[in-house]
Amino acid sequence: MITFSERSRNPGGFFFAFFLHACCALALIFVFSFISACSGDVNGKPKTTDPRKKMAVPVTVAPAVAKPVPVQVRTIGNVQAYATVLIRSRVGGELIAVHFKEGDEVKSGDLLFTIDTRPFEATLKQAEANLAKNRAQLEHARKQAERYASVVKKGYVSEDQNDQILANAAALEAAVRADEAAVENARLDLKYCSIRSPLNGVTGQLKVDKGNLVKTSDNDNPMVTIKQTSPIYVVFSIPETNLTALKKHMAVGTLDVSVALPGDEGRQIQGRLTFLDNAVDQTTGTILLRATFPNQDRVLWPGQFVNVTLTLSMQADAVVIPSQAVQTGQKGRYVFVVTHDSTVEYRPVTLARTIDGEAVVEKGVTAGEKVVTDGQLRLTQGAQVKILEAGEAADGAKPQ
C-alpha cells in the first residue's frame, strides 16, 4: 500500500493507482447491469425486449362467413309519371265552371271543365233543321223519280227529263249525307264543352280560371296537366360495362329493382325492370333503363331523385366480412386476421363490392377466419390481442 510519504516521493504512481481503481469499478458496474438485463428484474421475472408483447391489445372480432349475396348495380334514378296528359279544349268559348281543385286526384271520366254550350246548341239545331229540310226534299225527289221511271218507257216524258229527275234525287241524297255529318259534328262540339279526365291521376296547377275565353287546341297554354302516379316509372342509367351481364340475366327472367328515398334508405320500395333502351349514349357511356313500381301508397312522386339498386343475380357461397374490418393503407386494402395463438396477421384483401355494411371478399380471407373489426389503429403484424366480449368497446370501456 502506498503511504503518504510515498505519495509525496512518487506522485505519478499515485495517480496511476487511482486511475486503475476507477476503471475496475466501472467494469464491475457494466458487468452487473448486463447480467441483470439478461437474467431478469429484481423479482426474478424474465424481461421482454419487444414492447408490443408487454400488453395485449383489446380488439373486437367477427368471423368471415360464406353465404349467398346478391350481385347488384347501384345508381341514382329519377321518378317519372306513368302517363302525362296536357288538357286542352277542342272547342272555343267561355269557361263557365271548373270542377276540381289543384292537386286533386281524379279518375278517368271525371268532369274537369264546362264551356258555355249555348252557341253549340244553336249550331246543332240549325244543322238538324237543314237535315230535316233536305230529307223532305229527297223524299219528294225519290217519289218523282219513281213516277217518271214508269212513264218514260211509254214515251210520255223524254229521257232527258227523266235523267234530270234522277240527278236531282241524287244531289238531294248527297245533301242529306252532308247534313247528317254536320249534325254529328255539332253534337261532338256540344259534347266537347264538357272536358273530362282521360285517365286516373293527379291534377297540377290550374292555368285558366272560370270566366276566361279558351281557344281551340291552344298548344302553348294547356288548361291543366294530369299525371298518372300509380303505377309509376323510375328511369336510371348504368355503365355500358354492365350491359352484357344485364342482357344475359334479362333473358332468364324479369329483374328486380328496389329504390329508396334519400334520407330514408331503410325503406326499400320494390319494382321490376320493364325497359332497356335500344342504344348506348355515346356521350356518357351509359344505357337508359326504366323500372315500373305499383306505387299504390303514392310514396314515389314524379320528379324525385331516388337511390336505385338493380339486382342481377345471386352469388352463392360468397365470403363476407363486416365492412368496418377493411382498412386502407399505402398498398391498398387490408384486414387483420386473428391467428390461433391470439396474434394478428396483416392480410391484403381484394373486394368485389360492399352491400349494406358487408364486404364481399374475392381474395385474402377464407370462411371461418376471424377478422378484427375494432381496435386496428394499435395493431401491427404479430401483435398480441385480447378479444373483447360482445358489448365491450375496443378501448376496454363499456359502451353507453
The string of DSSP letters for 319-371 reads EEEEGGG-EEETTEEEEEEE-TTSBEEEEE-EEEEEETTEEEEEES--TT-EE
Q: For residue 357, what pLDDT is reported?
A: 87
SS3 content of the chain, % helix, strand, coil (to 5): 30, 40, 30
Query: What sign for the dihedral angle of Cα 238, 242, 245, 251?
Result: positive
The residue to which cell 360468397 is assigned: 318
The residue to which cell 426474478 is assigned: 44
Give the phi and the psi of residue 179 in degrees, each rounded to 5. Answer: -65, -40
Q: For residue 3, what pLDDT is reported?
A: 45
Question: What does each of the 400 residues of the chain score in pLDDT, given as a tens digit?
Answer: 444 444 444 555 545 555 555 555 565 555 455 545 444 444 444 444 455 455 889 999 999 999 999 888 999 999 999 999 999 999 999 999 999 999 999 999 999 999 999 999 999 999 999 999 999 999 988 888 887 777 776 667 777 787 888 899 999 999 999 999 999 999 999 999 999 999 999 999 999 999 999 988 777 789 999 999 999 999 999 999 999 999 999 998 899 999 999 988 889 999 999 999 999 999 999 999 999 999 999 999 999 999 999 999 888 889 999 999 999 998 899 999 999 999 999 999 999 888 888 999 999 999 999 999 999 998 999 999 999 876 565 554 444 4
Q: For residue 228, what pLDDT is reported?
A: 97
Q: For residue 351, what pLDDT is reported?
A: 92
Concatenating the DSSP letter of every residue in 168-182 gives HHHHHHHHHHHHHHH
Q: For residue 282, what pLDDT is reported?
A: 94
Q: In 3D, which of 85, 91, 121, 299 has the Cα closest to residue 197?
A: 85
Give the phi and the psi of residue 328 in degrees, each rounded to 5. Answer: -120, 125
Q: In 3D, which of 193, 12, 52 has the Cα closest to residue 114?
A: 193
Asked if omega into 262 is within 30° of 0 (cis), the reply is no
Identity at 372, one-letter amino acid code? V
Quickly count: other Cβ atoms within 10 Å of residue 78's Cβ: 15
The residue to which cell 223532305 is assigned: 136
Q: Is 335 exposed, middle or buried (0-12, 13-18, 19+ CB in 10 A)?
A: buried
Q: For residue 42, what pLDDT is reported?
A: 42
Q: In 3D, which of 173, 192, 188 has the Cα closest to residue 116?
A: 192
